[in-house]
A and B are shown apart, each in its own frame.
Chain A
Amino acid sequence: AQKITQTQPGMFVQEKEAVTLDCTYDTSDPSYGLFWYKQPSSGEMIFLIYQGSYDQQNATEGRYSLNFQKARKSANLVISASQLGDSAMYFCAMREGLGTSYDKVIFGPGTSLSVIP
């Protein structure tokens, strides 16, 4: 069963506008971490933001913020003031089992974001 769901295969946003990329996850572990990565056309994976399951506040990193709704098991990425360089694939990921033999990171299918001038 898919543990990370990203329901938007592709999205468009106007330059300078804000955009929300959806992510829902499934885990029975009380402790886990949620990540967002960006993959531009060059192929490199770029870490954007992290949210811990016990963190009280939503994570923010510059123009990126993570809208964490624990009860709904959702971890949406919000990009404010979109730039042309934001055009890329975006992956939501979850790490669970920290420090155990099943300490692993799994990814969603990704969302392709295109920023329109």
Chain B
Amino acid sequence: DVKVTQSSRYLVKRTGEKVFLECVQDMDHENMFWYRQDPGLGLRLIYFSYDVKMKEKGDIPEGYSVSREKKERFSLILESASTNQTSMYLCASTRGGVSYNEQFFGPGTRLTVL
């Protein structure tokens, strides 16, 4: 059974803390994505990566950074968490290159910044 896992389902952090959200996939997918989901706004793309050590900014990268040191792992970093980063964070992966395969999603991390 294919899987995308995220390190936490729920996370509560304080303003100014550094936050790491980890995503691991076991499907040998090239492409990985981080989204945040807010009511009425859908899923907004934060960062994506098409290969190890490669990253591209999505639509809302401000306040976030990412790391992809291994093919299976894609980390989202909030350098200094703020209350407006309270949200649901979804990681996804898909096969790259030859065809438009669907994405597989993790269960999400609901982050609350106090």
B74 at the A interface (CB under 8 A): no
Complex interface: chain B residues within 8 A of A95 (CB): 94, 100
Please report the C-alpha to C-alpha distance between residue A44 and residue B6 in the assembled complex, in whole angstroms.
13
A40 at the B interface (CB under 8 A): no
Please report the C-alpha to C-alpha distance between residue A45 and residue B108 in the assembled complex, in whole angstroms.
10
What mask results when residues 6 to 27 of chain A are scored 1 for a CB within 8 Å of chain B, else 0?
1001000000000000000000
What mask results when residues 76 to 92 of chain B are scored 1 for a CB within 8 Å of chain A, else 0?
00000000000010101
Complex interface: chain B residues within 8 A of A100 (CB): 50
Pairwise interchain contact A33-B100, C-beta atoms closer than 8 A:
yes
Please report the C-alpha to C-alpha distance between residue A45 and residue B102 in the assembled complex, in whole angstroms.
11
Partner-contacting stretch, out of B19-27, B38-46, B62-70 = B38-46
Pairwise interchain contact B58-A107, C-beta atoms closer than 8 A:
no
> Which A residues, 73 to 117, have Cβ-Cβ distances below 8 Å to chain B?
91, 93, 95, 98-110
Known: A45-B90, A91-B43, A99-B96. A105 touches B108 (CB 8 A): no
Complex interface: chain B residues within 8 A of A47 (CB): 102-104
Q: State which of A44, A104, A110 has its C-beta within 8 Å of the C-beta of B45.
A: A104
> Which B residues, 20 to 61, have Cβ-Cβ distances below 8 Å to chain A?
31, 33, 35, 40-45, 48, 50, 54, 56, 58-59
Which one of A6, A50, A93, A101 has the highest number of Cβ atoms from chain B below 10 Å of its Cβ? Answer: A101
Closest B residue by C-beta to A91: B42
Known: A50-B100, A91-B43. A105 touches B105 (CB 8 A): no
Please report the C-alpha to C-alpha distance between residue A32 and residue B100 in the assembled complex, in whole angstroms.
8
Known: A103-B31, A104-B56. A109 touches B42 (CB 8 A): yes
Which one of A4, A104, A108 has the highest number of Cβ atoms from chain B below 10 Å of its Cβ? Answer: A104
A-B contact pairs, 16 of them (CB 8 A): A33-B100, A35-B103, A47-B102, A50-B100, A98-B96, A98-B100, A101-B54, A103-B31, A103-B48, A104-B45, A104-B56, A105-B103, A106-B45, A107-B45, A109-B40, A110-B42
Query: Residues of A with Cβ closer than 8 Å to B?
Result: 4, 6, 9, 32-33, 35, 43-45, 47, 50, 52, 91, 93, 95, 98-110
